Structure 1
Amino acid sequence: MIEMTVAGIALDATNRRTPIVLLKDGSGRRALPIWIGDNEARAILMALEHQRAARPMTHDLMANILAAWEMTLERIVIHSLQDNTYYAVLTIRQGDLCKEIDARPSDAIALALRCDSPIWVMEAVVADASIPVDRDADEQERIAFRQFLDSIRPQDFSQQGRGIEDSSAS
């Protein structure tokens, strides 16, 4: 299993702006995109931004129930991908008793963020569905942009020679 963290939420521009939760491995070299619903995206964003609704949302309620019954969410595991659908389980512990409960990955992630629990993904799922993160390309873009900024001179912003007339001179 590979421990992953939530890198953020994005919108799939090619698929009717469907939300995607993006998980990244510890090395930052692989990302796992999981398409989710709007409500789940909001729940995950609220947890990432440490926001609270005026009344408990579903995932807050679940976290409150776990705490009230002295249970802990030990981890979530995204264990398989079948027909473009991810499957996950919650591992919940109460004392010596430990149970695994089937869950949608989006709900499991939203709850894990609220319970500060680790997110694990089976290696086969990462191998099948992850995308490489080109950190070198990101660094090259940052270097090129920094070089561009460093090359700018004040006269580059001069209005002379650009066909812009100074209306105050009239």
Structure 2
Amino acid sequence: MRTTHVATISFLCLSVWACAGSLETVDTRPIDPVLISPSMAASLDHDGFVPMQVFDLMETESGPVVVLADPDIGTILPIWIGNAEALTIALRLHGEVFDRPLTHDLFDALVRETGAVVAEVRLDSLVGEAFAASVLLESDGRLIWLDSRAWDSIAMGLSPQVPTYA
């Protein structure tokens, strides 16, 4: 089943360079997991998306916040997350491992053992007060989009080789 999403993400851009703006996206990919042929992969574009990096993880009065940033244009995007999610991201940021595998460790092992790699992650749209996101896997020349929560995709993309877009 194909569903077309048209979404406008408006957010407060916080930065030391003091910017304000909005990010408009038009996303026509299926929301169900789907295999994309290599010929379709060549047509993937990032129009309307901004490359981002995890800049910081901080505690606020409202709870933990993961901060994405585009250092080239000085845009910062804060995303409030829960304590368990903050623990996962903090461990990954610092290259530490919990005593027993966490959910993302299990997902990493599953991806690795099947020969797939995380190709990119995207924050696709704003649904209510939460970001919808996706993880793009590459396996044997095929691309597989997986629907995701924002913090899950951010955690999966915490690698220098995995681009993150918002």
Indicate the SS of the match to 1:88: strand
CA distance in 1, matches of 2:127, 2:56: 24
Residue 48 (structure 1) shift: 0.6
Residue 82 (structure 1) shift: 2.6
Q: Which position in structure 2 is the counterpart of 1:76?
A: 121
Indicate the SS of the match to 1:77: strand
Count of residues in Structure 1 that have an aligned counterpart in Structure 2? 118
Richer in helix (by share): 1
User: Contact 1:44/1:110 (CA < 8 Å) preserved in 2?
Assistant: yes
Residue 54 (structure 1) shift: 2.3
Q: Which runs of 5+ in 1 are unaligned?
A: 122-170
Moved segments of 4+, more than 4 Å: none
Residue 28 (structure 1) shift: 5.8
The structure with the larger Rg is 1
User: Aligned in 2, Cα 1:115/1:108: closer, same or farther, shift over 3 Å?
Assistant: farther
The one-letter amino acid of 1:3's match is P
Q: Which position in structure 1 is the counterpart of 2:96?
A: 51
The one-letter amino acid of 2:131's match is Y
Q: Tell whether 2:88 aligns with 1:34.
A: no
TM-score, normalised to structure 2, is: 0.67
RMSD (CA atoms): 1.5
User: Aligned in 2, Cα 1:28/1:12: closer, same or farther, shift over 3 Å?
Assistant: farther
Correspondences of 1:5-154 after superposition (within 5 Å): 5-13=53-61, 15=62, 18-27=63-72, 29-113=74-158, 116-121=161-166
TM-score, normalised to structure 1, is: 0.65
Q: Which runs of 5+ in 2 are unaligned?
A: 1-48
